[in-house]
């Protein structure tokens, strides 16, 4: 870029628009891998826990979700370290806050249910109706969908918005139809639609 | 009546730098260089001009053992950018 001072107003506007768009593209490009990574982690753990739950001892295997968070964050840290050097932007910050909030809420609810499952807390202390336990996948799916949709709105990406809606609403009602370990298949589907598909869509867009 | 355009911002490279910094909390020198396609020498001169005007802050730091130059827009820079865009609107009759 040369040093030019005799620009027209149109050219100035073009520079502003192009600079912001170029910066936005770089940020979008770098958001593909974390989405795919977290999606693959959730799908893998959903299927693993469903398998163990079904064949080897019941819902106690849900404690493995804690390992997902550890592995997920470790992988995310490596991705952040190796990715292109991009600045912190308002968009990136909002997306980060959305998913951190999602993680904190799901971790909090998951841990509480885990303590109940292990008998460390009485069920009646947190929920009077045991049926609610069966619907927790619905609630998490809804949160998942909301997180994905907000990400799509902030990034102005229609594919991510649609994936978030489908994953959230589909997962919420879908989980109600599946009892026990089969709910985890719904969770795997929600992660595929809500994380992996948007990640791949961004990845493919960036290759063009 | 056309509003006057800030001569400091009415330059291709300086305007591109400010546009990048508007949406970022801070940006490293190599990132700005890559995004603008400017040479290191030219970019350095323009960044110094923006810094001297109080439009951006420059922080020399280290990333590990490597030196790292961080640039971030100041409130005065943000105001100037907003005024520049407002002035542009009067030219374009937006």
> Residue B84: which CATH number?
1.10.10.10
Give the nearest partner residue to A4 out of B12, B19, B24, using CB atoms: B12
Interface test with B, best of A19, A21, A83 (most B CBs within 10 A): A19
Note whether B25 contacts A22, CB cutoff 8 Å: no
Question: Which structural domain, as residue segments, surrounds residue B88?
Answer: 12-92
Residue B31 · residue A85 · CB < 8 Å: yes
Note whether B91 contacts A: Cβ–Cβ < 8 A.
yes
Q: How confident is the model at residue B78 (pLDDT cuts 50, 70, 90)?
A: very high
Note whether B36 contacts A4, CB cutoff 8 Å: no
Q: How confident is the model at residue A154 (pLDDT cuts 50, 70, 90)?
A: confident
Taking residue A12's Cβ as centre, other Cβ atoms within 10 Å add up to 23
What residues of chain B lie within 8 A of the CB of A90, using their CB?
23, 25
Size of interface A-B (CB pairs under 8 A): 82
In a domain, B2, yes or no: no
Number of domains chain B is built from: 1
Query: Which whole number is the average pLDDT over B58-82?
Result: 89
In a domain, B55, yes or no: yes
For residues A119 and A121, give the distance between their C-alpha atoms in angstroms, rounded to a whole number. Answer: 5
Residues of chain A with pLDDT > 90, as a percent, come to 27
Q: How confident is the model at residue A19 (pLDDT cuts 50, 70, 90)?
A: confident
CB crowding A79-89: b at 16 or more within 10 Å, else e: eeeeeeebbeb
Residue B63 has phi, psi (to 5 degrees) of -115, 100
Residue spans per domain, chain A: 30-80+89-202
In a domain, B3, yes or no: no
In a domain, B28, yes or no: yes
Whether the pTM exceeds 0.90: the reply is: no
Helical axes A90-117 vs A136-154, angle rounded to 10°: 170
Q: How confident is the model at residue A43 (pLDDT cuts 50, 70, 90)?
A: very high
For residues B79 and A183, give the distance between their C-alpha atoms in angstroms, rounded to a whole number. Answer: 53
In a domain, B7, yes or no: no
Residue B28: strand, helix, or coil: strand
What residues of chain B lie within 8 A of the CB of A87, using their CB?
20, 24-28, 31
Q: What is the pLDDT of residue A47?
A: 94
Minimum Cα–Cα distance from A13: chain B residue: B88
């Amino acid at each position: 870029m040369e040093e030019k001072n005799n620009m027209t107003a149109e050219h100035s506007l073009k520079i502003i628009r192009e600079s912001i768009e170029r910066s936005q593209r770089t940020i979008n490009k770098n958001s593909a891998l974390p989405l795919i990574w977290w999606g693959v982690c959730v799908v893998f753990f959903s299927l693993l826990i469903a398998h163990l739950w079904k064949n080897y001892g019941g819902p106690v295997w849900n404690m493995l979700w804690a390992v997902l968070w550890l592995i997920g964050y470790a992988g995310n840290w490596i991705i952040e370290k190796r990715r292109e050097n991009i600045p912190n932007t308002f968009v990136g910050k909002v997306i980060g806050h959305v998913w951190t909030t999602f993680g904190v809420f799901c971790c909090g609810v998951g841990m509480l249910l885990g303590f109940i499952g292990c008998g460390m807390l009485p069920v009646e202390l947190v929920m009077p109706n045991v049926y609610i336990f069966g619907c927790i996948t619905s609630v998490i799916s809804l949160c998942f969908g909301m997180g994905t949709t907000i990400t799509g709105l902030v990034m102005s990406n229609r594919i991510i918005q649609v994936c978030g809606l489908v994953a959230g609403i589909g997962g919420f009602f879908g989980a109600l139809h599946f009892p026990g370990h089969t709910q985890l298949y719904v969770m795997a589907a929600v992660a595929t639609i809500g994380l992996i598909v948007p990640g791949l869509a961004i990845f493919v867009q960036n290759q063009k | 009546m056309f509003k006057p355009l800030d001569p400091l911002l009415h330059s291709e490279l300086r305007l591109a730098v400010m546009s990048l910094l508007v949406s970022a909390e801070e940006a490293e020198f190599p990132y700005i260089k890559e995004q603008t396609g400017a040479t290191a020498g030219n970019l350095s001169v323009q960044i110094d001009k923006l810094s001297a005007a109080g439009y951006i802050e420059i922080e020399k730091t280290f990333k590990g053992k490597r030196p790292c130059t961080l640039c971030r827009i100041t409130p005065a820079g943000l105001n100037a950018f907003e005024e520049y865009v407002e002035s542009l609107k009067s030219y374009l009759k937006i």
